[in-house]
């Protein structure tokens, strides 16, 4: 049993992992901890310790929610009351990702005064959980070494629109991402998060990267988008000039039009 407590402590140490790798351990950490909470062979103290650690993870422990629901629905009795209370508290600390558990929390009422008070606290925390929690977690994921994680995060932030504008600096930082899909996702996210903002030079240069893409479809789209920005896109004129003799006729026409719009050529 002591080994389990040591394992929980070791897992908890993952809370202090660098941001660049924290997303790589979140789900695994949450599931391992929720497995401890679910295991009836372990002591009450061990299960409570695991639940409390999940609570400290907050929204990052979203992967543990299904297991916590199972525990709350199956566990009964005064002996296991500390486990039930710890699970309820953990769900509240997880916040927005636990919104689907509100009916479960309601059904768990009337077990004891302490559990009822925990349910009240957690219900309030879940209901008042703002998108800031999600934004914080998504922003952290932008630093992942896994491109698929970065792409998922940037798309999620884009879907939040202006509500995620606090993450704009972090999104801007991945405009130079080596993965083209992440870079393109960051461009879209910034446009949706800051709809009234003028394109920055960093955004314009990130779009211009696609002017050198082997796929003529991306070159065409980039030229058209830059052309729509007009004079604001003058900074990427050299990139457009380089495509005057592009082998694709549609790209050549789009580039010629863009150069006129950015003021680099006579109409």
132-147 confidence digits (pLDDT tens): 557 887 898 899 888 8
> What is 2-129's CATH topology?
1.25.40
**Predicted local distance difference test score (pLDDT) of residue 6:** 44
pLDDT digits (tens, 9 = 90+) for 178-224: 999 999 999 999 999 998 889 999 999 999 999 999 999 999 999 99
- Tell me the per-residue pLDDT of 152-180, one tens digit each, with 9 for 90 and over: 889 888 888 888 899 999 999 999 999 99
Q: Domains of the chain: which residue ranges? A: 2-129, 133-197, 211-267
Say yes or no to pLDDT of 87 above 70: yes
Mean pLDDT calculated for residue range 10-20: 46
Spatial contact of 146 and 137, defined as CB atoms under 8 Å apart: no
- The answer, yes or no, to whether residue 57 has pLDDT greater than 70, is yes
Tell me the per-residue pLDDT of 226-245, one tens digit each, with 9 for 90 and over: 999 999 999 999 999 999 99
- In CATH terms, the fold of domain 133-197 is 1.25.10
Angstrom distances, CA of residue 63 to CA of 68, 121, 127, 209: 10, 21, 19, 37
């Amino acid at each position: 049993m002591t080994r389990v407590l040591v394992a929980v402590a070791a897992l908890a140490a993952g809370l202090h992992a660098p941001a660049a790798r924290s997303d790589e351990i979140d789900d695994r950490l949450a599931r391992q901890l929720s497995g401890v909470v679910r295991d009836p062979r372990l002591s009450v103290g061990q299960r409570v310790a695991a639940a409390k650690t999940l609570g400290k993870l907050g929204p990052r422990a979203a992967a543990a929610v299904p297991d916590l629901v199972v525990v709350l629905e199956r566990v009964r009795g005064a002996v296991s009351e500390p486990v039930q209370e710890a699970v309820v508290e953990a769900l509240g600390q997880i916040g927005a990702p636990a919104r689907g558990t509100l009916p479960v929390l309601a059904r768990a009422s009337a077990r004891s005064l302490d559990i009822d008070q925990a349910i009240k606290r957690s219900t309030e925390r879940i209901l008042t959980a703002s998108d800031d929690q999600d934004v914080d977690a998504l922003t952290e994921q932008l630093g992942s070494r896994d491109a698929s994680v970065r792409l998922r995060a940037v798309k999620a932030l884009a879907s939040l629109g202006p509500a995620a504008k606090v993450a704009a600096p972090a999104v801007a930082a991945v405009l130079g991402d080596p993965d083209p899909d992440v870079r393109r996702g960051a461009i879209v996210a910034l446009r949706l998060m800051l709809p009234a903002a003028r394109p920055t030079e960093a955004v314009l240069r990130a779009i211009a990267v696609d002017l050198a893409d082997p796929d003529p479809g991306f070159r065409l789209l980039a030229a058209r988008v830059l052309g729509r920005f007009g004079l604001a896109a003058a900074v990427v004129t050299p990139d457009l000039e380089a495509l005057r003799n592009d082998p694709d006729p549609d790209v050549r026409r789009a580039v010629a039009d863009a150069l006129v719009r950015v003021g680099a050529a006579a109409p």
